Amino acid sequence: MSYLYLLDTNIISELIKNPRGVVFSKIQNIGEDTVCTSIVVACELRFGSKKKNSQKLIEKLEIILNSIKILPLTHPVELCYAEIRTDLEQQGKPIGGNDLLIAAHSLSLDLTLVTANVREFSRISNLKVENWLKPDENSSQSEEAEPR
């Protein structure tokens, strides 16, 4: 498979809330085989559904996660993680641990991270970021952070 996009937690959450909404339409336009997600995102989603204790939500989540490839963390994710975390901490602009792993996962595979959390992820050098929930924010190319 040739994945191009890694879907963040908030994008898959939107897909669960609106199964035929903007995220679904975008996936249909670009092809299901171009999108994937991280095991870290799957962990966050499963935790959220378990915490809410909603069988309906758990069932919807299962349908979505069974239709999207979930990628494991593999080398060189840890190298990207170390680089990103060091850089952000030196700037005094750290981000959450799971977001660090998601960003490192996306960057290590040279994928565009699709998220509604553009502000936080745009701090990361060379990470391609798109927000499918606000298409007017996207140019024809992915938003990229300024080089260091």
Query: Which domains does the chain show, CATH number per domain?
Result: 5-141 (3.40.50.1010)
Is the confidence at residue 13, as pLDDT, over 80? yes
Structure confidence at residue 136 (pLDDT)? 67
Residue 21: pLDDT over 90: yes
The Cα 113–Cα 83 span in angstroms is: 17
Decide if 113 contacts 106 (C-beta within 8 A).
Answer: yes
Mean pLDDT score, 124-138: 88
DSSP 8-state secondary structure symbol assigned to residue 138: -
pLDDT average, residue stretch 24-36: 97
Q: What ranges in 18-142 are assigned the alpha helix state H?
A: 22-30, 39-52, 55-67, 77-91, 97-108, 118-121
* CA-to-CA separations, 140 to 15, 45, 52, 134, 143, in angstroms, rounded: 22, 29, 37, 13, 9
Sheet containing 143-144, strands listed edge to edge, beginning at the edge strand earlier in sequence: 69-71, 35-38, 5-7, 112-114, 128-130, 143-144
How confident is the model at residue 144, as a pLDDT? Answer: 41
pTM of the predicted model, to two decimals? 0.90
Contacting residues for 134 by C-beta, under 8 A, at least 6 apart: 116
| Mean pLDDT computed over every residue of the chain | 92
Residues 80-99: what's their mean pLDDT? 97
The mean per-residue pLDDT over the stretch 41-68 comes to 96
Tell me whether strands 128-130 and 112-114 are parallel, antiparallel or unpaired: parallel
Instruction: Provide the pLDDT for residue 18.
Output: 96
β-bridge partners, 6 = 36, 113
3-state secondary structure of 100: helix
For residue 5, pLDDT over 70 is answered with: yes
